[in-house]
């Protein structure tokens, strides 16, 4: 038996006036998703428990079959794992965004999707400045891709800081979120504000401004956490599994759970990700793995950017290029099951994540008689499916393997 889970990050949405009060999922041409819905069972679910952040970290941990109440410690350390960053007791890892700040507000949480080459220069400048000015400085920046980076800070007396994700507070006065009582919190705030001195007149930013691009003139530290301890996926579920993704977050989850992490050339985690390559590598991964999890970030990025056209294109590319190829490949291996779902919604009107239920469809080649009356994969139609409205979350893998579906 082969299993495939297709995750369209942030794929679900709200009815939009621009689409005659339809959602991008309802408008997109997605014959393969609709075919799976017609021949399978559908419903609605939520992957992020109410008392935890509505983020891809929590939601995808659930989809991977791990209860985030037990294993979630923060986003930073998960991403750090994929970058090979070693931590010790007392190390706290923050996600570090390069942002565009103006008048105490985040006007662009991606700094115009700054290039990795430019961002690397800025990370090096931060490390040099803080080390030169403060010889005993306890932190170090690790550059990642584009605007996404990491900051490791060592302090055994650290306390939890509730700093929102930058994409959740665009155009808000962010000072109200940095009003900390602890010396640790004030230190982190000071580091964030001092970064402005380092970055604002850096040659990279002066050049970007001259070209009409948003400068990366401040850092935003968030998603802090310590290294989690998670059991191996095979020990829990007794199957071999692989992950296809273009983002550090899911690659980090794969490392902590000892899933096979498949690096795909051209997988960027943005609109320009190589869908063909993801499809090809996913098909190859089926040869040696019982389960392949495929994740595409593009719909989420489109939701954050409030770009309806790009969101529809991303959904259509997932359907045609990835699902289309996978559904042709799977019959070679005999019996199989396919699950399609978003991890969470990223509604265009909000430009960030929401805690609304998301559609889920499960197709089984050995149980076609168990189909329901859903004919189209969408937020509205899936609510009428036989899976109902439930908190499947971290039980997804268990249900899939135990023939609950």
User: Binning pLDDT at 50, 70 and 90, where does residue 369 land?
Assistant: confident
Q: Each residue of 192-241: pLDDT tens digit?
A: 999 999 999 999 999 999 999 999 999 999 999 999 999 999 999 999 99
Query: What span, in angstroms and rounded, lies between the C-alpha atoms of 28 and 340?
Result: 15
Q: Each residue of 113-145: pLDDT tens digit?
A: 999 999 999 999 999 999 999 999 999 999 988
Mean pLDDT, the chain, whole residue set: 94
Query: What span, in angstroms and rounded, lies between the C-alpha atoms of 386 and 44?
Result: 10
Q: What is the largest CA-CA distance in the chain?
A: 69
Note whether 42 and 52 are within 8 A (CB): no
**CATH number at 2-71+229-401:** 3.40.720.10
pLDDT at 342 exceeding the cut of 80:
yes
Q: Mapping DSSP to helix (H, G, I), strand (E, B) and coil, where does residue 246 land?
A: coil
Query: What span, in angstroms and rounded, lies between the C-alpha atoms of 184 and 203?
Result: 31
Q: What is the strand order of the sheet 241-244 is part of? A: 260-262, 241-244, 291-296, 2-8, 336-341, 358-364, 41-45, 388-390
Domain boundaries, the chain: 2-71+229-401, 82-225
Residue whose token pair is 């970290």: 57
Query: What span, in angstroms and rounded, lies between the C-alpha atoms of 226 and 72?
Result: 10
| pLDDT for the residue 239 | 97
Task: Report CA-CA distances (Å) from 44 to 80, 90, 390.
Answer: 32, 40, 6
Q: Which two tokens stand for residue 367?
A: 């149980």
Query: What is the pTM (predicted TM-score) of this model?
Result: 0.86
110: left (phi over 0), alpha (psi -120 to 50) or beta: alpha
| pLDDT for the residue 268 | 86
């Amino acid at each position: 038996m082969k299993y495939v889970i297709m995750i369209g990050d942030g794929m679900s949405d709200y009815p939009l006036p621009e689409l005659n009060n339809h959602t991008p999922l309802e408008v997109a041409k997605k014959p393969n998703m609709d075919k799976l819905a017609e021949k399978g069972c559908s419903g609605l679910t939520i992957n992020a428990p109410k008392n935890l952040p509505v983020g891809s970290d929590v939601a995808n941990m659930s989809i991977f079959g791990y209860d985030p109440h037990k294993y979630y410690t923060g986003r930073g350390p998960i991403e750090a794992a994929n970058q090979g960053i070693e931590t010790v007791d007392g190390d706290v890892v923050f996600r570090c965004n390069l942002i565009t700040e103006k008048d105490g507000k985040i006007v662009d949480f991606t700094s115009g999707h700054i290039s990795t080459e430019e961002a690397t220069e800025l990370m090096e400048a931060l490390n040099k400045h803080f080390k030169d000015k403060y010889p005993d400085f306890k932190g170090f920046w690790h550059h990642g891709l584009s605007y996404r980076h990491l900051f490791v800070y060592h302090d055994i007396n650290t306390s939890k800081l509730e700093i929102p994700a930058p994409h959740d507070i665009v155009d808000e006065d962010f000072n109200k979120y940095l009003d900390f009582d602890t010396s640790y919190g004030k230190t982190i705030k000071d580091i964030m504000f001092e970064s402005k001195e380092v970055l604002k007149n850096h040659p990279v930013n002066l050049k970007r401004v001259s070209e009409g691009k948003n400068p990366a003139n401040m850092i935003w530290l968030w998603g802090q956490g310590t290294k989690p301890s998670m059991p191996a996926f095979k020990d829990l579920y007794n199957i071999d599994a692989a992950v296809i993704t273009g983002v550090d977050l899911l690659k980090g989850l794969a490392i902590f759970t000892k899933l096979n992490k498949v690096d795909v050339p051209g997988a960027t985690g943005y609109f320009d990700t190589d869908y063909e390559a993801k499809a090809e590598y996913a098909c190859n991964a089926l040869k040696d793995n019982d389960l392949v999890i495929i994740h595409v970030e593009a719909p989420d990025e489109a939701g954050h950017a409030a770009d309806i056209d790009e969101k529809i294109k991303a959904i259509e590319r997932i359907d045609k290029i990835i699902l289309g190829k996978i559904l042709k490949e799977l019959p070679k291996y005999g019996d199989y099951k396919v699950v399609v779902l978003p991890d969470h919604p990223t509604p265009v009107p909000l430009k960030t994540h929401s805690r609304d239920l998301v559609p889920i469809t499960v197709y089984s080649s050995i149980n076609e008689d168990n189909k329901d009356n859903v004919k189209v994969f969408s937020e509205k139609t899936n609510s009428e499916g036989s899976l109902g409205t439930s908190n499947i979350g971290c039980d997804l893998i268990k249900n899939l393997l135990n023939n609950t579906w």
